[in-house]
A and B are shown apart, each in its own frame.
Chain A
Amino acid sequence: MSETLLEVRHLRKLFPIRGGLWNRVVANVQAVQDATFTLSRGEIVGLVGESGSGKSTLGRSILRLTEPTSGEVVFNGRDILGLQGNEMRRMRREMQIVFQDPFGSLDPRMTIEAIIGEPLRIHKLASRAERPAQIAELLQMVGLSPDYRKRYPHQFSGGQRQRIGIARALAVKPSFVVADEPVSALDVSVQAQIVNLIQDLQQQLRLTVLFIAHDLLIVEHLCDRVMVMYLGRIMEFAPSRRLYGAPKHPYTEALLSAAPIPDPSRKRERILLTGDIPSPMNPPSGCVFRTRCRYAIPECAQTVPPLREVEPGHYKACIRDVL
């Protein structure tokens, strides 16, 4: 029933660290390792993980905003990693990104009209005469008055800027949007406005959204399925309700129990992870989570656990069946 829009296979991204006398590659940061998953048309998938888990790098690698080291990204049946020049540019119309920082991601010297009109111009989607009407329509769609079009970014609040960033991404009528922490920089009361907007637009336009976030409550609220990353690897991928209701991976379990819940009457047992995330330059052998895992057994150090289906549609990368 669900139609596949995006297929990511064995995607890998290494950032070389150069140093020494001849500026040789002395180490690699293994930002994303062997990411394999598919997204269906019209679904909204959450990607959660702590800083350094590789979630932003994964999002950007799919769009080729950073060039992946190896793997395949099949979008609408075409492997986009081989595309060049004009072909890639045309493909970019289908896939857009909304950035985290509503202050840094809009050019302060451009008017709102110019910011939203730029993708229309580049992709030749509207003639000069048609543009004002389309810009007005986009502004209305994200809940801003078209009267604002001559203003500059500094005249807007954080929430309004994020609306502008969303309008810019939607200007080219993409089918797929990566939203990279779009509400993290906003105040709680404004966060809810933007979450509602993303939800409405996703339904209206049947967008496929990869929603990158570290706020677990918002992801639970918004997403159909959720992917959990740790140290460059996908640890668990499951429908939201299953992942939050009965997490199957020890890391997901710890992550969920660590998130503070805004309800003082809920007292729960907390699984406190000891230590810090290991360096992605030198990740542990075998399972990357084993150094902080309370269920770890000697075998965990031997092999990298594959992401396997433990229940229909529920995947985890852990060799232990029962926790």
Chain B
Amino acid sequence: MHDDPLLKITDLQTHFYTRPGIVKSVNGVSLEVRAGETLAVVGESGSGKSVTSLSIMRLIDPPGRIVNGSILFRTKQGKRVDLTVCTEPDMRRIRGNDIAMVFQEPMTSLNPAFTAGDQIAEAIMLHQGKRKKEAWSLAAEMLALVGIAAPEKRLHEFPHQMSGGMRQRVMIAIALSSKPALLIADEPTTALDVTIQAQILDLMRKLQMELHMAILLVTHNLGVVAEMGSRVAVMYAGRIVEEGRVDDVFRSPKHPYTIGLLASMPRPDSGGKRARLDAIPGSVPSPFAMPPGCSFAPRCRYALAECDAVIPALAETGDGHVSRCLRWRDL
């Protein structure tokens, strides 16, 4: 057993050097993922949650660049690697093998010119060095594992012959074929219907237990967080503003943004129809005009004058629960 985390990100900064200016998409993110756990990263568009996950895989293309911070990862061989500085060949061995990724778009993340079998078998041959015949039979096993009926037949189908839910299962089959220690799932069910979403989430939970894999789940859906996460990190404008156990954060949120997000969701069978929702006023600040202090202050009903002056540090509010708010005690 390891006590140290599987993934430890410290003060990550990923910036994009665009013509109108520098976009600090990820601006000092630190987080840890332990073996076998699910960390949900939740945030709205532009919060930096996807850029964080792409930074881990080092899939940031110019004009973007990781400018600061470290991403320590423990490989299957037990080696500690800083993903921000390791060589590209090393990174290629880690990608897909130790860390796999499932994207939001099941429509575009598969190659339309190859069958599902080709694409799963390719991953198996590449990462496990198997021969083609063996890889294909393993591919059929993977398809069965992700709950696809008649896998031998489906192996020979092209992506366009499959539904969205089926394609996402194929993506998961590819991702899991090398039994990664960490699965990064970036909005894996956002493009899917709710009944299919329920199937995919159920599948991810089951496979996580079987393979003892950690999941970094990136989502904007608080419902999905509540059902899947053991811990949750809430991101806003490039920073983590609150982190803690899912139960704690939902029961007693310690950051005004989290409080606002939870209050803006309609509650099931509250019976209070016709009540108004507690909306957060305003919208996310432009990346070119970030407030000088707390980036949520302009929309915050608890904001004081100090909030515009300093960027609050993450304060420990309880057991493993942190908040980036000066006034967390008053909330």
Which A residues form the contact surface with B (CB < 8 A)?
50-51, 157, 159-160, 187-193, 195-196, 199, 214, 216-218, 220-222, 240-241, 244-245, 254-255, 257-265, 270, 272-274, 276-277
Contacts and interface: CB of A to CB of B under 8 A. Distances in A.
29 contacts: A50-B195, A50-B196, A187-B44, A187-B220, A189-B279, A193-B279, A195-B266, A196-B277, A217-B223, A217-B265, A221-B273, A221-B277, A222-B266, A241-B273, A254-B195, A255-B195, A259-B223, A260-B198, A260-B224, A260-B226, A262-B222, A262-B262, A262-B265, A264-B226, A264-B247, A273-B199, A276-B163, A276-B165, A276-B166
B303 to A, nearest CB: 16
A264 B246 CA distance: 7
A265 B249 CA distance: 12
B279 A216 contact: no
A260 B266 contact: no
| Contact-size category for B | 35 or more
B271 interface: yes
Which of the listed residues B221, B224, B265, B281 has the most CB atoms from chain A within 10 Å of its own CB?
Answer: B265
Which of the listed residues B195, B197, B278 has the most CB atoms from chain A within 10 Å of its own CB?
Answer: B195
Given A195-B277, A260-B201, A264-B250, 4 more contacts: A159-B283, A187-B44, A272-B199, A276-B196
Interface string B87-131: 000000000000000000000000000000000000000000000
B251 A258 contact: no
The 3 A-B pairs at the shortest CB distance, nearest first, are namely A260-B223, A221-B266, A192-B279
Given A217-B266, A220-B268, A240 B273 contact: yes
B312 interface: no
A192 B44 contact: no
Contacts of B280: 189-190, 192-193
Contacts, number: 129
B241 to A, nearest CB: 13
Contacts of A195: 266, 277, 279
B198 A216 contact: no
A209 to B, nearest CB: 14
B269 A245 contact: yes
Contacts of A264: 226-227, 246-247, 250
B247 A241 contact: no
A218 B266 contact: yes
Which of the listed residues B45, B227, B281 has the most CB atoms from chain A within 10 Å of its own CB?
Answer: B227
Contacts of A263: 226, 250, 267-268
Contacts of B273: 220-222, 240-241
B1 interface: no
B264 A214 contact: no
B223 A188 contact: no
A22 to B, nearest CB: 25
Given A50-B194, A261-B268, A189 B261 contact: yes
B145 interface: no
B145 to A, nearest CB: 16
Given A189-B44, A241-B273, A214 B202 contact: no
Contacts of B163: 276-277
B193 interface: yes
A258 B226 contact: no
Contacts of A257: 198
A262 B226 contact: yes
Which of the listed residues A221, A259, A273 has the most CB atoms from chain B within 10 Å of its own CB?
Answer: A221
Contacts of A272: 198-199, 202
A40 B49 CA distance: 44
Contacts of A255: 194-195
A316 B225 CA distance: 33
Given A188-B220, A259-B194, A220 B266 contact: yes
B133 interface: no
B314 interface: no
A198 B278 CA distance: 14
Contacts of A190: 279-280, 283
A198 to B, nearest CB: 11
B193 A50 contact: yes
Nearest to A292: B195
A29 to B, nearest CB: 15
A50 B189 CA distance: 14
B287 interface: no
Contact of A192 (B165, B166, B264, B283): B264
B283 to A, nearest CB: 5
A192 B281 CA distance: 9
B150 to A, nearest CB: 12
Contacts of B250: 262-265
Contacts of A262: 222-223, 225-226, 250, 262, 265
A207 B166 CA distance: 41
B289 to A, nearest CB: 13
A222 B270 CA distance: 12
A222 B199 CA distance: 27
A147 B221 CA distance: 35
A189 B257 CA distance: 9
Contacts of B196: 50, 276
